[in-house]
Amino acid sequence: MSTASNGSVSLYYEVDGDPDRGTVLLLGDAGYGAWQWGWQHAGLTGPFETVVTDLRGTGRSDAPPGPYTVDDFVADVQAVLEAHGSRRIHVVGAGLGGMVALELARLSSRPRSLALLGTAPVGADLTLDPLYGDPSDPDALEASLAAALSRDFLDAHPDVVEQVVEWRAAEDATPEAWAAQAAAVEAFDVSDRLYEVDVPSLVIHGRDDAVWPVERGRRLARELPRGEFVGLDGGHLIGIERSRAVNDRLFGFLGA
């Protein structure tokens, strides 16, 4: 358990695994704490070193007043990587974290590859509110999962739902921090600069994503110079709902 500083903002991160096998940085989606990587972390750690950081506004990182920008998150990530000593990394980003990964790859030579889950090159006109639940309200946290996971998954895995609600209550963004993170998504647009992201990029998207439409994922993969698209049946949190399929593709991609 470690912290890095970007100016006055303290950023929490955790490192596991052997750095000699390559480092994978995991960047999460708007509003969610690091719990969202539970389905990937255990599998990736061992074959790789993993670095998981709480974005500003979530978990054990600071939540300064917003609104935030993707550039703020990129600067935070650079601070974490400097503190950890990482030079070249693979980046796995979900939603907002995928946007941060894209901008990091555009501005920095650190990323060796990108894996982008349920993200988009443009944030305008996305209605993110259905994904959010106030951490102080367990009923709201559970209800908001209907926008993130398919009904079939929710009905089949009540134990997972119960555990996720507990994790979200402990780690997710407050209403103020959520609004600050959502503002970063809304303002992001890298659509005319994707040609500058020249690392291998795997785009994985749930075909039934109700909030981040799958067409935005297809567009992202199509316009990235080295992009590859994989569509899977499921909702926005595809790394949870289709964890085995996502992990298989991550292993194949990162191993290559």
CA-based R_g, the chain, Å = 16
Q: Tell me the residue ranges of DSSP E strands in the chain.
A: 2-6, 9-16, 23-27, 49-53, 89-94, 111-117, 201-206, 227-232
pLDDT score for 113? 98
Is pLDDT above 90 for 15? yes
Q: Give pLDDT tens digits for 17-63.
A: 988 889 999 999 999 999 999 999 988 998 999 999 999 999 999 99
Number of domains in the chain: 1
Q: Give pLDDT tens digits for 132-163.
A: 999 999 999 999 999 999 999 999 999 999 99
Q: Which amino acid is at 208?
A: D
Q: What is the CATH number of the domain that holds 13?
A: 3.40.50.1820
Q: Do the Cβ atoms of 233 and 242 come closer than 8 Å?
A: yes
Phi and psi torsions of 127, nearest 5°: -100, 95
pLDDT score for 45? 93
DSSP structural state of residue 37 = G
User: How many residues appear in the chain?
Assistant: 256
Q: Give pLDDT tens digits for 100-121.
A: 999 999 999 999 999 999 999 9
Asked if omega into 19 is within 30° of 0 (cis), the reply is: no
Rounded Cα gap, residues 210 and 147, in angstroms: 6
Q: What is the number of alpha carbons within 13 Å of residue 37 lying toward its C-beta?
A: 30
Q: Give the pair of three-digit tokens for residue 219.
A: 């567009």
Is pLDDT above 80 for 187? yes
Is pLDDT above 90 for 86? no
Residue 212 CA to its chain's centroid (Å): 13
Indicate the pTM of the whole model.
0.97
Q: Which amino acid is at 52?
A: V
Q: Which range marks the domain in which residue 75 is found?
A: 2-255
pLDDT score for 20? 83
Is pLDDT above 80 for 235? yes
pLDDT score for 256? 81
Average pLDDT over residues 204-217: 97
